[in-house]
Amino acid sequence: MIPHPAGTRVWLATGHTDMRRGFDGLALLVQQALKRDPHAGDLYVFRGRRGDLVKILWHDGQGLCLFAKRLDRGRFLWPSAADGALTISPAQLAHLLEGIDWRMPQRSWRPTAAG
> Mean pLDDT of all residues in the chain?
86
Residue 91 has a pLDDT of 87
Q: In this structure, are residues 78 and 12 in contact, taking their beta carbons and an 8 Å threshold?
A: yes
| pLDDT digits 0-9 by tens, 52-108 | 999 999 999 999 999 999 999 999 988 876 667 889 988 889 888 888 877 776 655
Residue 67 has a pLDDT of 96
Query: SS3 sequence, the chain?
Result: CCCCCCCCCEEEECCCCCCCCCHHHHHHHHHHCCCCCCCCCCEEEEECCCCCEEEEEEECCCCEEEEEEECCCCCCCCCCCCCCEEEECHHHHHHHHCCCCCCCCCCCCCCCCCC
Domain, as residue range, for 20: 10-97
Chain-centroid distance of CA 24 in Å reads 18
Look at residue 79 and tell me if it is in a domain.
yes
Look at residue 67 and tell me if it is in a domain.
yes
Number of structural domains found in the chain: 1
Look at residue 109 and tell me if it is in a domain.
no
pLDDT band at residue 2, thresholds of 50, 70 and 90? Answer: low
